[in-house]
Structure 1
Amino acid sequence: MQTTPENTETTEDVVDLLRAQHARIRDLFDEVMHPDGRSREDAFAELVRLLAVHETAEEEIVHPVARRLPGGDGIVDDRLAEEREAKELLAELEGMDTGDPRFLKSLDRLRMDVLTHARAEERYEFDRLRGQFSPTQLKGFAAAVRAAERTAPTHPHPGVETASKNLLAGPVAAVADRVRDMIRKARDNG
């Protein structure tokens, strides 16, 4: 069942944008859990990429803004801890064959962790952002998230969960990841 809204790429509000990405992540988990062979590999590659760029953008743009809200430090610290655990498991999964029987068990654990994390973000961070910032500000945050995603690493990098760490390590990791993606694509198409 597809839950991704049709306007993921054109939404103007950062909360709507991130919720739409969460829906796409849910859809991708379903796609990876069910098919076999090449379609599973393709869906998993898309899931890895979306999770990596999505989390990087949140870490660079959304979390620093949420820290400014009352109680924001605790909320963001909890989300960052969850993101690190998810990146560690995602990196482990990336090293596995999607046909390995352990893959689906680990993927299901990641799915539960990521979906729980997304619900916490939506409830404790996103709803508060919408209540504290104007539509113009939320539109500006959406533009900043999209810009951060265009230059974000496309694979998980555990230990890089803050805006400053992303800004220091992110560009090098992003270039390396994107070269790795091009090599994989050329190999798969060759």
Structure 2
Amino acid sequence: MPGDRDPQDVVAFLTEQHARIRRLFDDAAGSRGHERAERFGELVRLLAAHEAAEEEIIHPFARGRIDGGEPVVEQRLEEEQAARRAVRALEDLDTGTPVFLERLARLRQDVLAHAEAEERYEFTHLRVAAGRDQLANLAKAVKAVQAAAPARPHPGTAPAAVRNGRS
């Protein structure tokens, strides 16, 4: 995504995006009016691009190269699907309502737990399974997918392809 530093490996790049996602949740919750809507829109765009790249590049790699990768990837895909549904429901709400803030707080908790699980169960194993050059190539592939990713998540589209081994 524009504005991100350019780490040389995919784990550093995606972990940095997790930190940016945390900040955007905080910014959206801590702002009001038009600014909250803008921060939430920015968050939705980053989540969509981030998850699209993981589903197309990272999860298939992890599934095939990490011992026990299949259940790890399946759990992450379930979490991503739940987040898509929650984002879709939030998009239908007025960002100024207490209900929006309550649901945003729940989404934040779920997305950050998902990010921690990725970092612990997927990313640490990627560093072992892939060499420096491969991590750099994966970062380039992730960035290319993100550049072409939709601005909003689309429930039910990418995970089926990943689940069936097509990417």
Q: TM-score, normalised by structure 2?
A: 0.92
- The match for 1:93 is 90
Show structure 2 runs of 5+ residues with no match. Answer: 163-167
Q: Which amino acid aligns with 1:61?
A: I
Aligned-pair distance for 1:163?
7.2
| Map 1:27-106 → 2, pairs under 5 A | 27-68=23-64, 69-106=66-103
> Could you tell me how far apart the structure 2 residues matched to 1:94 and 1:149 are?
21
Answer 1 or 2: higher relative contact order, Cα 8 Å, separation at least 6.
2
> Could you tell me how far apart the structure 2 residues matched to 1:164 and 1:58 are?
12
Identity level (%): 51
Q: Is the 8 A contact 1:61 1:163 kept in 2?
A: no
- The match for 2:138 is 141
> Could you tell me how far apart the structure 1 residues matched to 2:144 and 2:104 are?
29
Aligned-pair distance for 1:39?
1.1
> Could you tell me how far apart the structure 2 residues matched to 1:82 and 1:110 are?
11
**Structure of greater Rg:** 1
Q: Is the 8 A contact 1:29 1:47 kept in 2?
A: yes
- The reply on whether 1:115 has 2:96 as its aligned counterpart is no
Q: TM-score, normalised by structure 1?
A: 0.81
How many residues matched? Answer: 159
SS at match of 1:162: helix
Q: Is the 8 A contact 1:80 1:161 kept in 2?
A: no
> Could you tell me how far apart the structure 2 residues matched to 1:36 and 1:53 are?
25
> Could you tell me how far apart the structure 1 residues matched to 2:141 and 2:133 are?
12
Question: Cα deviations across residues 99-144 of structure 1 (Å, max 9, x unaligned)?
Answer: 1220000000000000000000000000000011100000000000
